[in-house]
Chain A
Amino acid sequence: MKLDLLTSLYVFMLAAFIGFEVIRRVSPLLHTPLMSLTNALDAIAVVGAIILAGESHEHRALLAKVLGTIAIVAATSNIVGGFLITDRMLRMFKASGPRKQ
């Protein structure tokens, strides 16, 4: 267990560094899509909610099921809505040059 927590800290630290390096390069032009995209990716928390809602629990099974189900709804709406709007925004960004028809 101890080792696992330590590993988690290393994973977090490395991911944060990667995040800084990658996201620093995102042009300010795309900061709004950046926020909606990271929001959609962040909704990967749905994975934890799915396991919570689907696993069998000896105690407090109802609590786990109810909270897990609501959590899935919240995260899924972020996934669907987040990817949809990010793509809609990015489709609007066009370079100049040959004007569109």
Chain B
Amino acid sequence: MPTEHIIEATYLIATALFILSLKWLSSPATARRGVFAGEVGMLLAVVGTLMYHGIVEYKWIAIALVLGSIIGVPLGEVAMTAVPQRTALSHAFGALCVTLVGTAEYYLRTPDVPPFMMSVLSMEIILGSLTFTGSLMAAGKLQEILPQRPLTYKGQNFVNLGLLAVAVAVAVALVMHPEKMQLFPVIVAIPLVFGVMMIIPIGGADMPTVISLLNSYAGLSAAAMGFVLQSKLLIIAGALDGASGFILSVNMSKAMNRSFANVLFGAFGQEQASGAAGGAEQARSVRSATPEEAAAILAAANKVVVVPGYGMAVAQAQHKVRELYDALTKRGIDVKFGIHPVAGRMPGHMNVLLAEADIPYDKLLDMDEINGEFPQTDVALVIGANDVTNPAARTDHSSPIFGMPILDVDKARTVMVIKRSMGAGFAGIENPLYYMDKTLMLFGDAKNFVGAIVRELASGHE
């Protein structure tokens, strides 16, 4: 049938466009072309599918497409600061789609489901449901509807792994007896609970890893759905998404010096336990400075590196930071940004916020690119970042974050840290950086403090 061939052709072209789309994303110069390629591929595939002769009723499809678009537009228009929770929510939607289709496929096909088919179908359902509730929980924590604090209890890993083991065991039983329909709701329900339990012990700073992991799960569940439906297009799209999430998870776990097994089992967040930094509560002195003093030091510098962290996002300080960037650049000072892979709440979070504030992307440097430059840097200005600048990670074997790659701000001639108070960071670890002789603490809200520095620079000696 010619229609069949046309549909296959649209799928083939869509597949090629999806791969090109990701390839073009490798550089900011071609990235928008990548989005366009993805859109064309998606449109082709959807139109091709609508031509499928087996479709007998279009009414509900049309209503659903319109409704989905109506929901999708506001989700595409959220503020840049809300991007992490939006991303988590979209993982939940993707997983919901996969789980629902998988559920329907099971009830339509049972009892005639061959073992391999039942295996991939179970995988689709288990990954889909745990990603659905897990992502909703993550979105809730990021939106601060749910408490951000990690909740841990004794035997948590045991309970979680036990749940997962039960789900897998029931799935195996279903593979052997696909006609036992009463077992099917179990492999939907248990992963739904597991998804919630998995995110309960996760704290804010672990979110970049968790979001990447959920991204990977969402992709793998879609690929499994491709196996069930025998759709090569879906297998490929799912594999690409799964690979992307996997690469990001590995990047994030490396940047936090966690083992990959640790990531896979979702057992983050609790190993700081009682921490080694307990007794070191001597009254060590810190030096603090006013906006005027900070402005004077910055004005005298030749090279400044700004290190942003989640605190900058919370204070919405990125536009003030851009004003500071402008003020310093106008004086001929070289200003760059050093960005740790896990700064913020998702991979690349800081880059998006700074790009939104109109800071050119060639000034945003990766940890590996910027670290060699700190020894020649006059001022390292840390805004709302803590653990990623902690030199104890390099030197102190007893530190819980020992071995974590950090931004070497302590190698700069002067370090300035904008911080609300002396409270410890997410991991509850003392940061020796703050007690160094070259360090000046700038206490206050990031947005107000940077604003005050900018005013000083403007009014000061021209």
A residues with a Cβ closer than 8 A to B are: 1, 4-5, 8, 11-12, 15-16, 18-20, 22-57, 59-60, 63-65, 67-97, 100
Contacts and interface: CB of A to CB of B under 8 A. Distances in A.
B234 A73 contact: no
A87 B360 CA distance: 17
Contacts of B74: 81
Interface in B28-57: 28-29, 31-32, 34-35, 38-39, 41-42, 45-46, 49-50, 52, 54-57
Q: Which 5 A-B pairs have the closest CB atoms?
A: A76-B68, A84-B76, A80-B72, A19-B243, A31-B348
Interface stretch (B89-97, B150-158, B170-178): B89-97
A84 B107 CA distance: 35
A60 B105 CA distance: 10
Contacts of A55: 54-56
Given A27-B26, A39-B218, A44-B14, A76 B229 contact: no
Nearest to A91: B32
B169 interface: no
Contacts of B196: none
Contacts of A36: 83, 86-87, 90
A94 to B, nearest CB: 6
A22 B72 contact: no
A40 B251 CA distance: 22
B462 interface: no
A33 B49 contact: no
Nearest to A9: B227
B53 to A, nearest CB: 10
A41 B80 CA distance: 21
Given A43-B93, A46-B46, A93-B355, 15 more contacts: A22-B23, A35-B346, A39-B91, A39-B241, A42-B222, A43-B97, A45-B222, A49-B101, A54-B57, A55-B55, A73-B71, A76-B72, A77-B93, A84-B73, A87-B35
B22 interface: yes
B230 interface: yes
28 contacts: A12-B239, A16-B239, A19-B241, A23-B240, A23-B247, A25-B23, A27-B27, A29-B361, A31-B248, A31-B348, A33-B348, A34-B347, A36-B87, A43-B93, A44-B14, A52-B105, A54-B60, A55-B54, A64-B108, A67-B104, A71-B97, A73-B64, A78-B90, A78-B97, A81-B90, A82-B76, A83-B42, A100-B358
A47 B351 CA distance: 33
Nearest to B83: A32
B244 A11 contact: no
Give the contact-size bracket for chain B. Answer: 35 or more
B108 A60 contact: yes
B101 A67 contact: yes
B63 interface: yes
B225 interface: yes
A50 to B, nearest CB: 5
Given A30-B28, A63-B104, A83 B94 contact: no
Contact of A92 (B212, B241, B356): B356
Contacts of B90: 36, 39, 77-78, 81-82
Contact of B28 (A15, A63, A93): A93
Interface string B229-270: 111111111111111111110010000000000000000000
B341 interface: yes
A39 B244 CA distance: 10
A44 B98 CA distance: 10
Contact of A74 (B38, B96, B346): B96
A60 B222 contact: no
Contacts of B231: 47-48
Interface in B199-232: 211-212, 215, 218-219, 222-223, 225-227, 229-232
A68 to B, nearest CB: 6
B28 A27 contact: yes
Interface stretch (B283-291, B362-370, B433-441): B362-370
B271 interface: no
Contact of B49 (A41, A47, A87, A90): A47
B25 interface: yes
A34 B413 CA distance: 36
A52 B116 CA distance: 21
Contact of A73 (B32, B67, B251): B67
Contacts of B103: 67
B64 to A, nearest CB: 4
B64 A38 contact: no
B237 A44 contact: yes
**Most chain A CB within a 10 A radius of its CB, from B61, B68, B242:** B68
Contacts of A95: 28-29, 360-362
B35 A86 contact: yes
A35 B12 CA distance: 23
Given A41-B38, A47-B49, A53-B60, A85 B240 contact: no
Nearest to B107: A60
A81 B72 contact: yes
